[in-house]
Chain A
Amino acid sequence: MKKLLKRTIVATAIAAVSMTMATTAAQAEETFTIVSWGGAYTKSQQRAYHEPYTAKTGTKFLHEDKSGTALAGIRSQVEANNVTWDLVDILEGDAMIACDEGLVEEINYDEILAAAPDGTPASKDFLGGLNGCFIPQIYYATLFAFNDEIFTGEKPSTIADVFDLKKFPGKRALEKTPAGNLEWALMADGVAPNDIYDALSTEEGVARAFKKLDTIKDSVIWWEAGAQPPQLLSDKEVSIASGYNGRFFGAQVNEKQPFTIIWDGQLAEIDGWVVPKGKLTTAMKAYIKFATDTQRLADQSKYISYGPARKSSAAFVDKHADTGIDMKPHMPTSPTNFTNPVIKNAEWWANNKDDMSERFNAWLAK
């Protein structure tokens, strides 16, 4: 098959028949290396985007689970002038930095992304995050969940409860990063979600957040990979854990774990794609147009409980592909869940991440 393909290409090249034929041959051999977060998330993208596209065009997809350090990867590849990644799943804040540093391609949204079924241009259909280079895909939430078997009486339901070790004893699992933890600390201390970033912009606000974190520091197990929190919860190593809502959903549904999600104070954030420098080819544009259209974004929610980043996709959110559960109540963006969210301010974090991380690491090491 490969031999045949090669011969075809060689033949086309030698004969130099026509431009169109050459592109068809090239397209037939197209292989994209896609970087993502691994686990259930990569699988959901595979089933919603990659497999249908392979069936349609024959394009092959290779996967690398490197999104955790995607910015470092893109930067080193671009600096070494050897870019091997074609499409990279990344958080909004990191996408901004990559965009400012010229590491990724700028996207002309209305040209590259498909319009909504009713004709609304893409730039008006997305819920946010269209800041130059970033192609939003999903809204996801970092939030708390607990193991029902641990709290038999009253159950925690607010961020303040998470920080209340007397009422709800047991260890907490938190992500080893200042983002999220500082916001929740202030929220538990009584700051309204809308005022959090104003407070964090002052020295007193930051000190207040760390002081609140001090109250639970000795009971915290810090996690770094998204797969850890559900594991820690089911092992009962911790009683309450922060984690990605899709991961908790996966454990609830696929592994029948007795977890309950605390939607209060969910840290909502956009995740999406960037195209590393030099990789915005015609073939890539065609793929992006396909994978980010209204139906496809809605399809991903059949496999994982993350909200599609397009307004028009909401109506197409359907049942879970494997269990038949209605996905709408499990979306972080569904009205019953989106009551008291903290919208993560990606720009604030792009500006203050270095400073906050430094303090956070020093605080941890103390």
Chain B
Amino acid sequence: MANTYSKVGEMTTNDGVPLKVSLRRSQRKLKLWAFLLVAPLLVFILVSFIIPVVNMTMRGIENPQVANIMPNVVAALENWEGTELPDETVYAALVTDLTMGRKNKNIGKVATRLNYERSGMRRVITGSARKAAKLKEGPYKTQMIEINKAWGDVAVWSLIKRESGTFTSSYLISSVDRKTNDAGEIVAKIEDKQIYVNLFGKTLMMSFSITIICIVLAFPIAYLLATLPLAKSNLLMILVLLPFWTSLLVRTTTWIVLLQSQGVINDLLVWMNIIDEDGRLQMIYNQTGTIIAMTHILLPFMVLPLYSVMKTIPPTYMRAALSLGANPVTAFIKVYIPMTVSGIGAGSLLVFILSIGYYITPALVGGQSGLLISNMIAYHMQNSLNWGLAGALGFILLVIVLLFYALFNKVIGIDKMKMG
């Protein structure tokens, strides 16, 4: 088959395979290769990033405790109106479930879960479970109410019915400082318990300030880096990169040494008689400390993208603007700055998104007022063990970051961004 035309108009290879098919075959091979090459990274990201994120987000809405451990009560409550106390069958189911839960040693999970919604439910559940196991025969309604008068409270039953689904919105509601009241309406929490909305606001505000300060500080450095002769700019580059290569913890603790009230800066000020011994400045363990330390840590993320953009701007543009009659300031503002916008954008996005989820530095130098939402999430993961709430807060944070990313994309355009 030496001819390359088997049918009219159709191209084939030397062995008679249509060219289209052959091409598709070889491309499939290439695609497979490409896929195999990225597969390790893909698997890594899937396992170490995407699955945990999805898992954690699911924790924010999953609600298996009541449904799994008290199945009889859930079934018995299905047709309950919710206006007056449920009837004997529900109480009998309660005794069965509590007894089983105690035997399987998982009733504590229900107790913990319901205690998030209503303080004291832990004692109600675990205490009743202990006593319910000893009840011999019905009617159980009066006996259970005798064991704990909470069982004679319609609100408790409404709570159990509300939390009997496999999914719940209560963590999400709680992470925006709201709660469901006894009547089933979503209302604001009392003022003494409102925390997250303010904290989200504060986190955004602080990230915003840090970004602005970084732009102001990084712009001149990047400009110098881009315009100085090579020998000098290399030295300057090392100065920028050295802190970047230093451990984050070292840099943070260095700030503690410098800023604390018995620290280097305060000592110097006292020694120079600028402030007296009692007037030592509180510069750390508060918002100021967090902003200073985080600005320092995140500065290279602003300098490097700016530098890489500025490096590509030919100096002739400025000269042209000057020779056409603009004064240096106008030329700088109208010609130079617009050309650096993609660098500013990239740097800002990096700094802003990094600082919005920053954890370790605020934990060390933030004191109370300098804490960010990520510290609260860590608190719920490690201390209060309310992983559902941590998941819900994390989900909201993720949505905020994605919103800012979308906004950024709309305003500056992600394709114009240069990461350095």
- Which residues from chain A sit less than 8 Å from chain B, CB to CB? 68-69, 71-72, 75, 97, 99-102, 106, 210, 221-222, 235-237, 347, 350-355, 357-359, 361-365
A102 to B129 Cα, complex, angstroms: 14
Contact B368 A72 (CB under 8 A): no
Main secondary structure of the interface of A (DSSP, over half): helix
Task: Give a binary string over B91-105; 1 marks a CB under 8 Å from any A CB, 0 the rest.
Answer: 000000000000011
Q: 10 closest Cβ contacts across the A-B interface? A: A100-B108, A102-B105, A101-B108, A355-B119, A362-B195, A69-B382, A351-B123, A351-B122, A364-B368, A102-B106
B132 at the interface (CB under 8 A from A): no
**Nearest neighbor of B192 in chain A, beta-carbon distance:** A359
Chain A residues with CB under 8 A of B192: 210, 359, 362-363
Closest CB in chain A relative to B377 CB, distance in Å: 12
Contact B384 A357 (CB under 8 A): yes
Would you mind naming 21 contact pairs between A and B with Cβ atoms under 8 Å apart? Answer: A69-B382, A72-B381, A100-B122, A102-B104, A221-B367, A235-B262, A237-B260, A347-B123, A351-B115, A351-B119, A351-B123, A352-B120, A353-B384, A354-B115, A354-B119, A358-B193, A361-B195, A363-B192, A364-B368, A365-B368, A365-B371
Task: Give a binary string over B375-387; 1 marks a CB under 8 Å from any A CB, 0 the rest.
Answer: 0100101111110
B261 at the interface (CB under 8 A from A): yes
Q: A221-B367, A354-B115 are in contact. List 16 more A-B contacts (CB 8 A).
A: A69-B382, A72-B381, A72-B382, A97-B108, A101-B108, A101-B109, A101-B112, A102-B104, A106-B105, A235-B262, A237-B261, A357-B383, A358-B195, A361-B376, A362-B193, A365-B369
Contact A359 B193 (CB under 8 A): yes
**Nearest neighbor of A99 in chain B, beta-carbon distance:** B108
User: Beyond A359-B192, A361-B195, is A71–B123 a contact (Cβ under 8 Å)?
Assistant: no
User: Beyond A97-B112, A354-B115, is A365–B198 a contact (Cβ under 8 Å)?
Assistant: yes
Closest CB in chain A relative to B362 CB, distance in Å: 12
User: Beyond A72-B381, A365-B368, is A354–B386 a contact (Cβ under 8 Å)?
Assistant: yes
A361 to B368 Cα, complex, angstroms: 9
A68 to B378 Cα, complex, angstroms: 13
B285 at the interface (CB under 8 A from A): yes
Task: Give a binary string over B255-284; 1 marks a CB under 8 Å from any A CB, 0 the rest.
Answer: 000001110000000000000000000000
**Nearest neighbor of B116 in chain A, beta-carbon distance:** A354
Chain B residues with CB under 8 A of A69: 382-383
Task: Give a binary string over B178-189; 1 marks a CB under 8 Å from any A CB, 0 the rest.
Answer: 000000000000
A308 to B148 Cα, complex, angstroms: 36
Closest CB in chain B relative to A346 CB, distance in Å: 12
Chain B residues with CB under 8 A of A236: 262
Contact B285 A221 (CB under 8 A): yes
Chain A residues with CB under 8 A of B381: 72
**Nearest neighbor of A76 in chain B, beta-carbon distance:** B387
Closest CB in chain B relative to A84 CB, distance in Å: 18
A17 to B62 Cα, complex, angstroms: 52
Please tell me which one of the listed residues A100, A221, A355, A365 contacts residue B126 in the complex, with CB atoms under 8 A apart: A100
A347 to B130 Cα, complex, angstroms: 15
A359 to B191 Cα, complex, angstroms: 9
A35 to B381 Cα, complex, angstroms: 19
A100 to B369 Cα, complex, angstroms: 36
Chain A residues with CB under 8 A of B379: 361
B194 at the interface (CB under 8 A from A): yes
Count of B interface residues, CB-CB < 8 Å: 37
B107 at the interface (CB under 8 A from A): yes
User: Beyond A101-B109, A235-B262, A354-B384, is A362–B194 a contact (Cβ under 8 Å)?
Assistant: yes
Chain A residues with CB under 8 A of B108: 97, 99-102
Chain B residues with CB under 8 A of A75: 385
B156 at the interface (CB under 8 A from A): no
Complex interface residues of chain B between 65 and 96 (CB less than 8 A to chain A): none
B213 at the interface (CB under 8 A from A): no
Chain A residues with CB under 8 A of B367: 221-222
Closest CB in chain B relative to A35 CB, distance in Å: 14
Task: Give a binary string over B9-37; 1 marks a CB under 8 Å from any A CB, 0 the rest.
Answer: 00000000000000000000000000000
A359 to B194 Cα, complex, angstroms: 8
**Nearest neighbor of A236 in chain B, beta-carbon distance:** B262
**Nearest neighbor of B106 in chain A, beta-carbon distance:** A102
A313 to B250 Cα, complex, angstroms: 45
Chain A residues with CB under 8 A of B303: none
Contact A365 B385 (CB under 8 A): no
B111 at the interface (CB under 8 A from A): yes
A45 to B126 Cα, complex, angstroms: 33
Closest CB in chain A relative to B300 CB, distance in Å: 29
Chain B residues with CB under 8 A of A68: 382
Chain A residues with CB under 8 A of B262: 235-237
Complex interface residues of chain B between 106 and 146 (CB less than 8 A to chain A): 106-109, 111-112, 115-116, 119-120, 122-123, 126
Chain A residues with CB under 8 A of B111: 100
B396 at the interface (CB under 8 A from A): no
Chain A residues with CB under 8 A of B400: none
A276 to B196 Cα, complex, angstroms: 34
Chain A residues with CB under 8 A of B105: 101-102, 106
Closest CB in chain B relative to A68 CB, distance in Å: 8
A71 to B376 Cα, complex, angstroms: 18
Closest CB in chain A relative to B383 CB, distance in Å: 7
Closest CB in chain A relative to B11 CB, distance in Å: 59
B56 at the interface (CB under 8 A from A): no
A68, A72, A106: residue with the most chain B Cβ atoms closer than 10 Å: A72
A252 to B126 Cα, complex, angstroms: 43
Chain A residues with CB under 8 A of B106: 101-102
Closest CB in chain B relative to A328 CB, distance in Å: 35
Chain B residues with CB under 8 A of A364: 368
Chain B residues with CB under 8 A of A350: 122-123
Chain B residues with CB under 8 A of A235: 262
A59 to B122 Cα, complex, angstroms: 39
Contact A222 B368 (CB under 8 A): yes
Chain A residues with CB under 8 A of B119: 351-352, 354-355
B150 at the interface (CB under 8 A from A): no
B350 at the interface (CB under 8 A from A): no
Closest CB in chain B relative to A244 CB, distance in Å: 18
Task: Give a binary string over B344-386; 1 marks a CB under 8 Å from any A CB, 0 the rest.
Answer: 0000000000000000000000011101000010010111111
